[in-house]
Structure 1
Amino acid sequence: MAITAAMVKELRDSTGAGMMDAKKALTEVDGDMEAAVDWLRTKGLGKAAKKAGRTAAEGLVGVSVEGGKGVAIELNSETDFVAKNEQFQDLVGGIAKTALGVDDIEALKVADLGGKPVETAVTDAIATIGENMTLRRMASIAGDKVAAYVHNAAAPGMGKIGVLVAYKGDDEGFARQVAMHVAAADPRPQALNEAELDPAIVEKEKQVQMDIARESGKPEQVIEKMIVGRMKKFLAEITLENQSFVVNPDLTVAAAAKEAGVEITSFIRIAVGEGIEKKQEDFAAEVAKAAQG
């Protein structure tokens, strides 16, 4: 498979790897982008885990809470300038409130907002503001109570990152601190605890760590012991309950919750543009040169 400049650039942007390393990785795996990320990690040449959730599009996340239900929606725009537009912000807020009454994004698109379907309201805003917009995502959460937090708030209830935390207990302030933790944590939590973590994520990381360990040339019995420790560390890093609490790093989130008399039951986090590659007008000449050999 021919390795193009665009492919090299995409891999560099997502992993932070060098130009020639990115090209070599893609060549080794016949252009498979996901396999190339793993190849770079195996060789210690990439920073995929740090870059995986990078923001690459503009717009806002809007959150809304009512009783034991919370919703978060993402409305993308082409530029950050439009995200600061009052009409755009009103639209985000209106969509977020409307989302409380539906179960998924398809239902949200046809739900009523000011006498017209949400998708029509978005189309009208495109015509008025003069910039393309996309209602990309909706996520909902339910529990005894729900706390919300938005990071880089552009207006009340909307910002660049939106987090909702469902919980049991009476300390809303603590639950909001947990929501702030979810917004700030690096690496970001992938699940509440190990039991709720996707087994595929665990297996993939285990394989990557085994490949990394084998690069050291150590015997298999030594590698197996190394993997146990590395996987324990990995699981602690990406499960919310086991992460060090940003407010008090001496405690895990689970321990801090116990002290506060709160039980965290679930959470969701949406960041603007997460996983979207922002289109560039020109590729760097050095990338094109590398891709052409």
Structure 2
Amino acid sequence: MAITAAMVKELRDTTGAGMMDAKKALTETDGNMEAAIDWLRTKGLAKAAKKADRVAAEGLVGVAVSTGRGVAIEINSETDFVAKNDDFQALVRDVAKVALETGESVEVVKAAALNGKTVDEVIGEAIARIGENMTFRRLHVLEGDTIVSYVHNAAAPEMGKIGVLVALKGDAAKAAEVGKQIAMHIAATAPMALDESSLDQDVVARELKVQTEKALEENATAAKPKPEQVIHNNIIPGRMKKFLEEVTLLNQKFVINPDITVAQAATEAGVEITGFARLAVGEGVEKKEEDFAAEVAKMAGV
């Protein structure tokens, strides 16, 4: 497979690897981006493998909460200009309210009533009125004793670039107080799962493969190689423990007090975290890059 400059740039942006290392990784893996990320990590040349860090679409995440229930939705637009538009923000707010009442899926919410029409029809009218394509792409419903929401980079109340919901059990006042701090933590750290048991086992298997190959390769070139038993019984399990501490919410170091974990912070507050949701605008969506002048011309219909 031909390795293009765009592929090399994407891999560099994703991993922080050098240009030649990125090109070699793509060549070694026949252009497979995920395999190339793992190849770089095995060689110790990649800092991270979080594709979701590449924000590749505009729009807003809206949140809405009622007693025991919360919802976060994402509606995408083509440009950030529209995300700042009062009309678009009103649409996000209205759809979030409908989703809070009726939503278990995007399809269900699209078919629900809003101002005498379906949500899908209302979005279609907004597209025609504003003159830019929009997509109601995702929603997440969270239920629990107490639901706390937080919006990062807010464009208006209850909507912004990142929306977080946290479900907690325990005293409602304490849950609301520590829940807001935990929601801010989630916005900053983007955990993959609540705990190890809820983490995708394919993710765990992939990480184990990377860490095993990396440890064996490092040991093979070390001045004083360790016995393989040490590698398999100590080093690899230690690295996997660190990985799980980094990607599971309850095991992460609490950003407000790094001396304790998030689980410990909840325990000290007398509450229990039962679930969370985090939506960031543009996760997983590829977007054709345009320069600022081209974007302005597009908005002006030039």
TM score, norm. by length of structure 2: 0.88
Q: For residues 14 and 61 of structure 1, do their structure 2 counterparts lie closer, same or farther at Cα, with a shift above 3 Å needed?
A: same
Which letter does structure 2 place at the counterpart of 1:196? Answer: S
User: Paired residue for 1:183, among 179, 182, 187?
Assistant: 187
User: Paired residue for 1:235, among 241, 244, 252?
Assistant: 244
Give the CA deviation at 1:281. 5.1
Is 2:214 the counterpart of 1:212?
A: yes
CA distance in 2 between counterparts of 1:60 and 1:147 reads: 19
Give the CA deviation at 1:51. 5.3
CA distance in 2 between counterparts of 1:32 and 1:231 reads: 24
- Retained in 2: the 8 A contact 1:75–1:134? yes
User: Paired residue for 2:287, among 271, 278, 288?
Assistant: 278
For structure 1, which runs of at least 5 residues remain unmatched after alignment?
283-293
CA distance in 2 between counterparts of 1:76 and 1:181 reads: 24
Q: For 1:84-233, what aligned pairs fall within 5 Å after superposition? A: 84-100=84-100, 101-169=102-170, 170=172, 171=174, 172-185=176-189, 188-216=190-218, 217=220, 218=225, 219-224=227-232, 225-233=234-242
Is 2:261 the counterpart of 1:257?
A: no
Give the CA deviation at 1:221. 2.0
Deviation track 1:211-254 (CA, whole Å, cap 9, x = no partner) reads 11122114422321211111111111111111111122111111
Q: Secondary structure at the match of 2:268?
A: helix
- Retained in 2: the 8 A contact 1:141–1:164? yes
Which letter does structure 2 place at the counterpart of 1:179? Answer: A
- Retained in 2: the 8 A contact 1:15–1:52? no
Q: Secondary structure at the match of 2:259?
A: coil
TM score, norm. by length of structure 1: 0.91
The match for 1:268 is 277
- Retained in 1: the 8 A contact 2:14–2:49? no
- Retained in 2: the 8 A contact 1:112–1:118? yes
Give the CA deviation at 1:110. 1.4
The match for 1:290 is none
Identity %: 66
Which letter does structure 1 place at the counterpart of 2:231? Answer: I
- Retained in 2: the 8 A contact 1:242–1:254? yes
CA distance in 2 between counterparts of 1:246 and 1:206 reads: 26
CA distance in 2 between counterparts of 1:8 and 1:49 reads: 15
Q: Secondary structure at the match of 1:167?
A: strand
For structure 2, which runs of at least 5 residues remain unmatched after alignment?
292-302
- Retained in 2: the 8 A contact 1:75–1:135? yes
Q: Secondary structure at the match of 1:2?
A: coil
CA distance in 2 between counterparts of 1:245 and 1:123 reads: 43
User: What do you get for the CA RMSD once the two structures are aligned?
Assistant: 1.6
Which letter does structure 2 place at the counterpart of 1:275? Answer: G
- Retained in 2: the 8 A contact 1:152–1:159? yes
Q: Secondary structure at the match of 2:286?
A: coil
With CA pairs under 8 Å and 6+ residues apart, which has the higher RCO, 1 or 2?
Answer: 1
- Retained in 2: the 8 A contact 1:16–1:51? no
Q: Secondary structure at the match of 1:192?
A: coil
Give the CA deviation at 1:44. 1.8
CA distance in 1 between counterparts of 2:228 and 2:62 reads: 50
Q: For residues 191 and 167 of structure 1, do their structure 2 counterparts lie closer, same or farther at Cα, with a shift above 3 Å needed?
A: same
Q: Secondary structure at the match of 2:279?
A: strand
CA distance in 1 between counterparts of 2:140 and 2:147 reads: 13
Give the CA deviation at 1:50. 5.2
The match for 1:288 is none
Q: For residues 50 and 34 of structure 1, do their structure 2 counterparts lie closer, same or farther at Cα, with a shift above 3 Å needed?
A: closer
Q: For 1:65-76, what aligned pairs fall within 5 Å after superposition? A: 65-76=65-76
